[in-house]
Chain A
Amino acid sequence: MSELLSWWAVAPWQTGQGGYFWALLMGFLVTASCGLVGNYLLVRRLSLMGDTISHSILPGLVLAFLWTGRRTSWVMFVGAVIAALVTVFLVDLIQKGSRIKQDAAMSVVFTVLFALGVLLVSIFAHQVDLDQDCVLYGEIAFVPLETLISVGGVSIGPPSVVRMGIVFLFTLVSVVLFNKELLLSSFDPGLSTSSGYSAQKIHLGLMAMVAIIVVSAFESVGAILVVAMLIFPGATASLITDRLNYIHVLTIIQSALSTLGGMYLALWLDTSIAASMVVVSMCLFALVWFFNPSYGLISTLVNRGVSKDKTLETE
């Protein structure tokens, strides 16, 4: 029995070159930051704005790379945020300047910008430290290979993990500090604006925050999987509770579970780690959907059966 357990649970972790701690931490930081900010997108019904931004920051990112020639620089963030704001502006322009609706406008803008980004990546492939695979599904597995950075003789971790950690802390602090404003402007933009918190400004701020998180998650999970990181934790949590604060807590738990499970699945099947994390997220969602006591599929079906029986009895 213990042999089986060790084959099943321990063996996968011993394959490869090890150092999974950093990869795991990176995965968790990415999923948790995305999940926290994604909750607001979810309640604002802007989930697909996340999709749009995650695709359209690519040209900004590549141009910033070409500009500075380095991967880790603040120019990258600036490029991504500018690209995100340009996207928001273009979507607005098409929507207001013609009779095309918002969904089509978003789809036109982000596909064109993404195509531009992919083209730039393939033209300048030898200059840019990015390839098409990275754009498509990212690579967390490279994290443990980075040289650790140290401050004052104490090594703290690989640079990408440190950066993501800072972004995560930033997200967490912003969510805690501005919870009231974000909540108010999500559910009642009019009241929010009249109480002095301009809904428009908060919206733009949220979009910039999404851009920052997406760009720091980009090399780990790619442009498309990040959408899953934004939506799945919140969607899963919203099946369990209606309160946004609990949803935030559940989001973090979900992130930890999906990271752990995803890493296991990836090692087991020898596939992309980020994609496996999303697959596990999806399974978690399905589990919650089927078995959750209040809104779950099974409980709904059972309840329906019970109520049918009752109506039959009364008849």
Chain B
Amino acid sequence: MSRQLTPLFTKLSSSVCAQYFAHVPSPTRTKVSERGSIFLITILCCFSSCASAAQAGSLAHHSFWETLMRFFSLQDTALQTALWGVLLLGISCGVLGSFILVRKLSLMGDALSHAVLPGVAAGFLWTYEKNPLIILLGALLTGLLGSAAVGWLTQRTKIKTDAAIGMVLSGFYAVGICLMTYIQKLPTGNKSGLDHFLFGQVAALSTQDIWLMGSVTIGVLVGVFICYRAFLILSFDMAFGKSLGLPMKALHYTMMLLLAFAVVVGLQAVGVVLVSAMLIIPAATAYLLTDQMKVLLPLAAFIGIVTAFIGAFLSFVGDGLPTGPLMVLSAGFVFATVFCFSPKHGWLTRVIRHYLWRRQVARENALKGVYQLMEAEQFKIEGIALDDLALRRHLPIPIVKKHVRMLFKLDLVTIDKVTEKIYLTPEGWHIACSVVRKHRLWELYLTQECHMASDAVHEDAEEIEHMIGEDTVRALEKRLKFPNKDPHGRLIPSIQDMWQSSSYKVTGADEERSKDE
């Protein structure tokens, strides 16, 4: 399978990357997109080979395509049931997961999902059969008891939250395991199907289970819809809620109840141990993509559905592999991708942005250095020696050489082959002037308007010269009444000077300036 799919993935990923980086306005586009696509391809290859390993056992009796057709034709009733289960799981876990993520209670979700186990086992022991309703009630009860226990431990003893969560998680789980091993040794125990509660098995879902999961999910959605505003206040500003007289404790436990509902929905599909992953990972993925709670909830639900669907698919193809781990792995894969490539909060996006920014700064500083050298000679010479530039910028010659080569590639300077002197092109002159202009206007602004000492303003101007845009500079200029000298007595390049193309010279003269006068 990996052999069949890898070229497809490669094509897909490189086109995705190309589209993604198409809007990055930089001459480095091609290089970065290559690097990015290599990265993505590696991940995809890993994943496809993982998937192929997952279904290695099943090849014996079905061909891969046959299984694929069976999956996508949706004729199978068992499959339809499973997909309904996946849909419900994605919705309920995504919505509740978003809330516990923003409340920094992620590990509470973990504790609650483990605390559900004794309830499941006790529910089974009550009737000695797998009655979904009773198991659900048992799970809800112990889940709530677990979240209440965390509350008691942290409020009534000096035990801290992290330890309390760990204690509830492992303690309740141990009780559950005791009961489970007890059940397994009962004569009917082996046929109980309780094993599926540990790591999940979508294929084992019955229609009855789906009805129950569906009604619980609707309950969750209705609960969140009614309490949406109150939950927002609970999540982001508890003190404000208290001052409004809202019952914060009751709201917290309502949320925990809904969380227990969501855990119960995910229980049979993902299993007790990993259901917390389906709560957190889709929500965390969505959190990297949006800043708005209104978007976060549906987005997390959507990501939850998609990843659960992929997990169910792999489990279906892989013939009897537990669904839970596969779902969690596909969720983890989606998370890793978004973590790297999210347009706003992505790690790789940030790294690339930072890299581009550093190049811009280096470029502008090099041009500024050339300008300053020209200025030192009253603009009588035009060619600048590399050594002088290195001396001026206090940088080693190899680094300056690298910068100059970069400038040359971008057509900002030309290099005389014989004398090895650097000449600015009109574009280079334009950028150099604009940087110096920003620098000196800012210095002037700080001394005149903010009354700072003239020897203290250089550092700040050195930073800001790369940031402010043309409009801001014009506004600054206007406010300072079109000055032509900075606090140190040097000329400030005007707009007119910037657009000179034949002989570079700064006069400080400006049409608008003369108009103003």
A and B interact physically: yes
Tell me, in angstroms, the Cα distance from A228 to B104 when the chains sit together.
Answer: 22
Contact A275 B178 (CB under 8 A): yes
Contact B332 A115 (CB under 8 A): yes
Which B residues are CB-close (under 8 A) to A289? 157
Proximity string of chain A (51-91) to chain B, C-beta cutoff 8 Å, 1 when within and 0 when not: 10000000000000000000000000000000000000000
Cβ-defined partner of A107 (8 Å) among B110, B163, B326, B347: B110
Question: A162 interface residue, CB < 8 Å from B?
Answer: no
Cβ-defined partner of A271 (8 Å) among B110, B157, B178, B288: B178
Contact B332 A108 (CB under 8 A): yes
Q: For chain B, what secondary structure do more than half of its interface residues adopt (helix, strand, loop), or is it mixed?
A: helix
Which B residues are CB-close (under 8 A) to A103? 104-107
**Contacts of B261-305 to chain A: CB distance below 8 A:** 273-274, 276-277, 280-281, 284, 287-288
Contact B273 A228 (CB under 8 A): no
Within the complex, the shortest CB–CB distance from A241 to chain B, in Å, comes to: 12
In the assembled complex, 5 residue pairs joining A and B whose CB atoms fall closer than 8 Å, in A order, are A107-B276, A116-B329, A225-B174, A235-B159, A270-B185
Contact B177 A46 (CB under 8 A): no
Give chain A's interface residues, CB within 8 Å of chain B: 42, 45-48, 50-51, 93-94, 97-101, 103-104, 106-108, 111-112, 114-116, 118-119, 122-123, 132, 136-137, 224-225, 227-228, 230-232, 234-235, 238-239, 265, 269-272, 274-279, 281-282, 285, 289, 295, 297, 300
Contact B157 A231 (CB under 8 A): no
Contact B56 A112 (CB under 8 A): no
Contact B171 A228 (CB under 8 A): yes
Which B residues are CB-close (under 8 A) to A300? 156
Proximity string of chain B (322-358) to chain A, C-beta cutoff 8 Å, 1 when within and 0 when not: 1011111101100100010000011100100000000
Within the complex, the shortest CB–CB distance from B511 to chain A, in Å, comes to: 48
**Contacts of B50-67 to chain A: CB distance below 8 A:** 53-54, 56-57
Contact A94 B167 (CB under 8 A): no
Cβ-defined partner of A98 (8 Å) among B169, B280, B347: B347
Tell me, in angstroms, the Cα distance from A259 to B101 when the chains sit together.
Answer: 37
Which B residues are CB-close (under 8 A) to A278? 170-171, 173-174
Please give the number of chain B residues whose Cβ is less than 8 angstroms from any Cβ of chain A in the complex.
61
Tell me, in angstroms, the Cα distance from A234 to B167 when the chains sit together.
Answer: 11
Proximity string of chain B (92-123) to chain A, C-beta cutoff 8 Å, 1 when within and 0 when not: 00000000010011110110001000000000
Given contacts A107-B276, A281-B171, 13 further A-B contacts (CB under 8 A): A108-B281, A111-B332, A115-B324, A122-B321, A123-B54, A228-B167, A228-B173, A228-B174, A231-B170, A238-B159, A271-B178, A278-B170, A282-B174
Tell me, in angstroms, the Cα distance from A58 to B415 when the chains sit together.
Answer: 59
Closest to A112 in B: B332
Contact A297 B156 (CB under 8 A): yes
Closest to A103 in B: B106
Nearest 7 CB-CB pairings of A with B: A278-B174, A228-B170, A111-B277, A112-B332, A115-B328, A275-B177, A115-B325
Within the complex, the shortest CB–CB distance from A89 to chain B, in Å, comes to: 14
Question: B158 interface residue, CB < 8 Å from A?
Answer: yes
Tell me, in angstroms, the Cα distance from A112 to B281 when the chains sit together.
Answer: 9
Cβ-defined partner of A132 (8 Å) among B162, B177, B182, B199: B199
Which B residues are CB-close (under 8 A) to A119? 54, 321-322, 325-326, 329
Contact B104 A224 (CB under 8 A): no
